[in-house]
Amino acid sequence: MKNFEEAARYHEEFIKGLWKENPVFVAVLGMCPALAVTNTAINGLAMGGATLFVLTFSSLLVSSFRRYIPKEVRITTFVIIIATFVTIVDFLLQAFLPAIHKELGAFVALIVVNCLILGRQEAFSFKNPIRLAMVDALGMALGFTFALFCLGAIREILGNGSLFGVSLFGPSFEPWIVMILPPGGFLSLGFLLLFFNWLKQRQEQKQSLVYLADAVAEVAEKKDSIISLKRGV
């Protein structure tokens, strides 16, 4: 029973970042990279992957040393840990993927001040054991990567008529140049936020109907029980 409850908790924490508390579409965090580097799908995946690396290993380190970090200097400690892993991922991109590193530019270094990463250290990793912190970090980072990929894919398809550099519509397609410009980022994000809010409201309505049906069934059952008792008397 304990193992089942623990597994359910891990599953809940992981899914939370992917859907219920998606950093971009629900919490609206990390807007700087979400709007600035998502003019193509590959850029969105690259930034998401870099964020995943930093968030996962930062959460591992913060959770491991949470009992030894004084509360008075915890924010400073978090920033130093995050900056260390940002430097590592910056050098790795520069060494192995120089073209993508050039595309992302200064936004790799700005991962240090991404409120998503610092917020997860303060709100979760500093207060929970390693396994739970890692599951939370993976869920949040994958949710962030998914959001950046969605934005990048939409903007690249409409703005260039391609996906991952592969042409989809042929030479007759007239690209929407605005989609690969800053206004296209705001438009794409706005429509995606609208879509996810609609899905969320629809789920909540379905849950309300289920609760209402259960309540009606429970009342009907009690009524039948009372009638049976009266007949018995």
Q: Has residue 233 got a pLDDT over 60?
A: no
Give the residue ranges of DSSP H helices in the chain. Answer: 2-15, 31-36, 41-64, 74-96, 98-104, 115-123, 130-160, 182-232
In the chain the beta strands, taken as DSSP E runs, fall at 162-163, 166-167
pTM: 0.85
Q: Given this model, what pLDDT does residue 132 score? A: 92
**Integer angstrom CA distances of residue 99 from 104, 106, 129, 154:** 9, 13, 38, 21
Question: How far apart are alpha carbons 110 and 204 in whole angstroms?
Answer: 36
Phi, psi of 38, deg, nearest 5: -100, 35
**pLDDT tens by residue, 35-56:** 888 999 999 999 999 999 999 9
Q: Given this model, what pLDDT does residue 225 score? A: 66
SS3 166: strand
Q: Given this model, what pLDDT does residue 4 score? A: 76
**pLDDT tens by residue, 85-129:** 999 999 999 999 999 999 898 889 989 988 899 999 999 999 999
Q: Has residue 179 got a pLDDT over 70?
A: yes
87 vs 169, residue with greater confidence: 87
Q: Has residue 2 got a pLDDT over 70?
A: no
